[in-house]
Amino acid sequence: MTLSIVKPGFFTTVQDLGRHGFQSRGISVSGPMDRFSLRIGNAMLGNRENAAALEITVIGPEAVFEDDRCVVLTGSDSGMEINGLTANAWTVYRLRAGDRVKAGTLSEGCRSYLCVSGGIDVPLVMGSRSTFTRAGIGGYKGRQLASGDRVPLCGNPPLWRRSEGFVCPPELRPAFGGEVPILAIDGPQADAFAERGIGTFYGEIYTVTNESDRMGYRLDGPAIELKGGADIISDGIVHGAVQVPGDGRPIVMMADCQTTGGYAKIATVCAWSAAALAHRLPGDEVRFARISEGRATELLKEFEKNLTKLTELRATYRSRPGGRI
């Protein structure tokens, strides 16, 4: 039960929901840049929530399945093909042994997730299958996928065939496109910034630079004014933390971020908007908007309600031939 990689795409890795509980030992959480799209894909297939999938960046892989499976592509649409025929994102397809899946170049956004019934069965490292390439741990041999890799798959879950043809309703899909602002709450060192600097952060437009990756998004734009120096005694860093180094340009920490940092943090991007930011490409504009902790929590609760609706829809769904190519 393997997935044979013909072409790996630009940067394709195995990710589950992350490696939690080891930050005190200097180990990053990793996991998906867009955890919401991954969770939806697993729910559509009847997988366990934490099943590992392929995270696709910009250009997708081409792969051959060696046994029967159901698959779904979530996140940004990459123009997926199955055996040379167009397949829609957010739709479950049933594959036969020998079928070939190709995920092309993402038309909008930056990342998508190829979820497979049963999930990917690479070894657990500290309780997670997520790839952390900087340390060379997790995933498939601790690295991004390459041509010729044979990625092991878990056994199909019970009643896996019933997902064939299931489509995620548009209103239950994350809407991360366009120019929606990136929502953030005040950071732990917000008082280290001049009032004018805080106004700059929330009032000006920034641009994603080429120095942006799974560790952090470096942004270019107006300098953010601090009251004093940018350096602080190093303290904890989380996904979404916004550090401001001495040049005044913000850096948003992402899934593979370090566990501590020595720059003042003006804000923390909420989980929902951190996923939205993960779909921005170099050159894309970013605007920040200030929200309360209560509103950030409400956004997560809204997603959980929608995920419950989706799970209930799938539970009553019966397989339709339209999901087969």
For residue 306, name the pLDDT band (cuts at 50, 70, 90): very high
H/E stretch holding 207 reads strand 205-212
| CATH 2.40.100.10, the chain: domain bounds | 182-297
Q: Which of 31-35, 173-177, 248-252 has the lowest mean pLDDT?
A: 173-177
Collect all residues with Cβ–Cβ distance below 8 Å to 167 and sequence separation of at least 6. 88, 90, 91, 92
Phi, psi of 185 (to 5 degrees): -105, 165
Phi, psi of 61 (to 5 degrees): -85, 170
In angstroms, the CA 35 to CA 314 distance is 20
Average pLDDT over residues 177-199: 93
What are the structure tokens assigned to 122, written together?
């690479």
**More confident: 293 or 176:** 293
Q: Is the pLDDT of residue 49 over 60?
A: yes
Say what the pLDDT of residue 324 is.
52
What are the structure tokens assigned to 198, written together?
């805080």
Give the class (CATH, top level) of 182-297.
mainly beta
Q: Is the pLDDT of residue 323 over 50?
A: no
* Percent of the chain predicted with pLDDT > 90: 90
In angstroms, the CA 311 to CA 307 distance is 6
Tens-place pLDDT, residues 251-289:
999 999 999 999 999 999 999 999 999 999 999 999 999
